Structure 1
Amino acid sequence: MNMNTVEHRRSGLMTQANGRRTETTQVRLLRIQAETLIRCRELQARAASPLIFALSTALKLLCIDVPNELNHDELVVVADSQKTRRRIAGVRCVYWSYPTRLVHLEGITCVAPDTTWLMYARRSRLESLVLLGDAFMRRDSDQRWMTLRDFRDSCHATHEQIRKAKRRMPAGTVNSRRAMVLMRENTDSVRESELRLMLLSYGLPMPQVNPHVDIRNDTGQANVGGRRRFFLDLAYSECKVAVEYDGKQHASNWEEDVRRRTLLEDAGWMCVNVTWNDMRSDVERRALAVSVASRLERRSGRKHAVTGPIPLRRLASRLLRIDKEADDSMTEKADAHG
């Protein structure tokens, strides 16, 4: 039987369905790790001496959600001196001579997350550095590497080692301090982190990240005590205003999402649902910030002016100054009490 393949014009639904087969974040990260591990093993087998994989390659090996700006397909290795830099076709070799923590993974060695972050601080935009730091501290325990306190302590210890060795601090040290004051624990995705930074840039207060809310549920689908627990992406709990990012994964959970929102609104919460379209241009982002600000004003009775967008660098400097003033105040009180 002779069969001819004819290219037909696709219907609208078929066009929309193309490429919309979504993976869970965990499955995607494990797939990327497996693919990267194969490539690293093949490269290591060709190399005459052990390699240490770095930057985006290390992040993929460690199942860390890489922000788009930092996500490169090339393999990256690190050398601790100019003499040991490798010249391997298709491989980028970077130089890092400062203290380095390593992770060993199935015969492959790569740079640990906190050192990788410090390496990126030399060359990355402040926003990308915050997004990457957030990814180390996910709410999902399977993706979580450390707490914010652990992260800050580790970076501080590295900087102290450099000072004691009387070496010049690496480029990006100031940038890393700015990023740490903007980073938050318990995020679920890069998009959530981008949303939080966007709200801040338009002058809104810092929201809580993934706080839980226990709500009475009379449908019988309840946790212990007849209550259901929900985690809100971002929230201003004192005003009961929630801001939630709706990604592709929500398409298959539409009925549950509708029920969830109904329960939250019955409990007095005002919900702002955000999609990618709300984030794609300055006009849409400002409109979203105005929408959130208007809800905060209605609930609190206080004016929330939408300004900016304010550069993240200026926001971080302001937060660092507030932190320093708080520390100085605590020191003065401690001194006063002897």
Structure 2
Amino acid sequence: MDADDPRSPFLATDAAAMGISRRALHGGRYRPVVRAVFIDARVPDTVVVRSRAALLVAPDGAVLSHWTAARLWGGRVPENDSVHVSFSRRVRWRLRGVKPHCYIHRLATARRHGLPVTTPAATFCLLAAFLGLVDLVALGDSLVRRGHITPHDLCASAEGWVGQHRAEAIEAARLVRDGVDSSPETTLRLLMVLSGLPEPRINVTVYRDDGSIRYRIELAYEEQRAAIEYDGRWHEEPAQRVRDSSRREGLAAQERWTFVVVTPDELFSATEDLVDRLHSELRALGVPVPPRPDDAWRQYFRVARIAA
């Protein structure tokens, strides 16, 4: 291993053989990643760097899993600072910053960034024990979006899962869809479905007469020409707001689409008000809406209203 290569973690016990004195090792040019593993201090702290470092000192058979595997695959998961490694046997090993998991069944593995990692399907099923439904579906949507697996194959993997929380994995896998662009879009879609609304189509494309794409609608009921879109914080920028308004007004005037726009404050801080608004506005647009919202959504969302 080249001591001047800033990309590779190395064992402290190998420093002398690499021409690095003890004084130099602790003098600021290098930094510890995990206990007894160092790297050139110029290298950014990334999940790949921390994963490589953890595997240098892990017992044989370690495979990156859970949140760490999800991030290595480019999946969307809540923040978790630990490097997660799994073993298909019992292991007594502890290391600060690393979380070991032990299983009695064999885990499906692959290589990612040259590292041993649980497959996208196995990662999804393992996290069914830790993530709620909304976060797990968001992970599945993002893995599908990255092209690592299809919704059909994810369902098949969940149904064949031999580990714990198989039912939760199956429930989430059946809600994973292709073409989802963001986690808030997943959240909005699930809120609609769990509150009793018919599932909207994802990424409906409106074409110009010459066949070129004019507009993609995140969530839509095509028969009623009802479009539901989530405007994240960046949509609050004046220039972006003008572009959004122009596109929507054009489709409304020429294609007779009606837009229901959802903001972050509504989705995450006034969820109950949003459910009521969606049901009311979509009913007015002719979407088949139940007489009252289903309460199933309350199990997975924080119930909040904006104070009057």
Q: Which aligned pairs between 1:248-327 and structure 2 lie closer than 5 A?
A: 248-250=233-235, 251=237, 253-266=240-253, 267-281=255-269, 284-300=270-286, 304-311=290-297
Provide closer, same or farther for how the CA distance between residues 241 and 294 of structure 1 changes in structure 2, counting only shifts above 3 A: same
CA distance in 1, matches of 2:287, 2:148: 40
Alignment of 1:228-247 (within 5 A): 228-247=213-232
Relative to structure 1, is the Cα distance of residues 290 and 54 closer, same or farther in structure 2, using a 3 angstrom cutoff?
Answer: same
The aligned residue for residue 80 of structure 1 is 88
Q: Could you say what the CA RMSD is over the residues aligned between the two structures, in angstroms?
A: 2.6
Q: How many residues align?
A: 254
Gaps of 5+ in 1: 1-32, 160-168, 217-223, 315-338
Match for residue 49 of structure 2? Answer: 38
After superposition, give the CA deviation of every residue in 1:110-144 in whole Å (9 maximum; x if it has no partner).
Answer: 11110011111233322222222122112xxxx23
How much has 1:301 moved relative to structure 2? Answer: 7.6
Whether the aligned pair in 2 keeps the contact of 1:96 and 1:119 (CA below 8 Å) is no
Q: For CA contacts below 8 A with separation 6 or more, give which structure has more relative contact order.
A: 1
The structure with more strand, counted as a fraction of residues: 2
Where structure 2 has 5 or more consecutive residues not aligned to the other structure, the ranges are 1-43, 301-308
Moved more, 263-272 or 95-104: 95-104
CA distance in 2, matches of 1:303, 1:111: 41
Question: Equivalences for 1:1-338 in 2 at 5 Å?
Answer: 35-47=46-58, 49=60, 51-66=62-77, 68=78, 71-82=79-90, 84-138=91-145, 143-156=146-159, 158-159=160-161, 169-215=162-208, 224-225=210-211, 228-250=213-235, 251=237, 253-266=240-253, 267-281=255-269, 284-300=270-286, 304-311=290-297
Q: Deviations over 1:9-51 (max 9, x none)?
A: xxxxxxxxxxxxxxxxxxxxxxxx9711111222233446463
TM-score w.r.t. structure 2 length? 0.73
* Structure 2 CA distance for aligned equivalents of residues 211 and 63 of structure 1: 24
User: How far apart, CA to CA, are the structure 2 residues paired with 1:287 and 1:195?
Assistant: 13
Distance 1:255 1:144, change over 3 A: farther
> 2:84, 2:287 → 1: CA distance?
53
Relative to structure 2, which stretch is displaced further, 123-132 or 88-97?
123-132
C-alpha contact (below 8 Å) 1:137/1:144 kept by paired residues: yes
Flag the 1:189–1:114 CA change in 2: closer, same or farther, 3 A: same
- Three-state SS of the structure 2 residue aligned to 1:37 is helix
**Are 2:88 and 2:104, in contact at CA under 8 Å, matched by a contact in 1?**
yes
Q: Residues 279 and 293 of structure 2 are in contact (CA less than 8 Å); yes or no, is this contact kept in structure 1?
A: no
The Cα offsets for residues 189-241 of structure 1, whole Å up to 9 and x where unpaired, read as 1100100111123221111111212255xxxxxxx35x543221111111111
User: Which amino acid in 2 is paired with 1:259?
Assistant: S
How many Å separate the matches in 2 of 1:179 and 1:49?
A: 32
Tell me which residue corresponds to 2:303.
Answer: none
How far does the alpha carbon of each residue in 1:291-328 deviate from its partner, in whole angstroms, 9 at most, with x for none?
Answer: 333333233285543324324889xxxxxxxxxxxxxx
Q: Could you say if the C-alpha distance between residues 232 and 97 of structure 1 is closer, same or farther in structure 2, counting changes exceeding 3 Å?
A: farther
Using the size of structure 1 for normalisation, the TM-score is 0.67
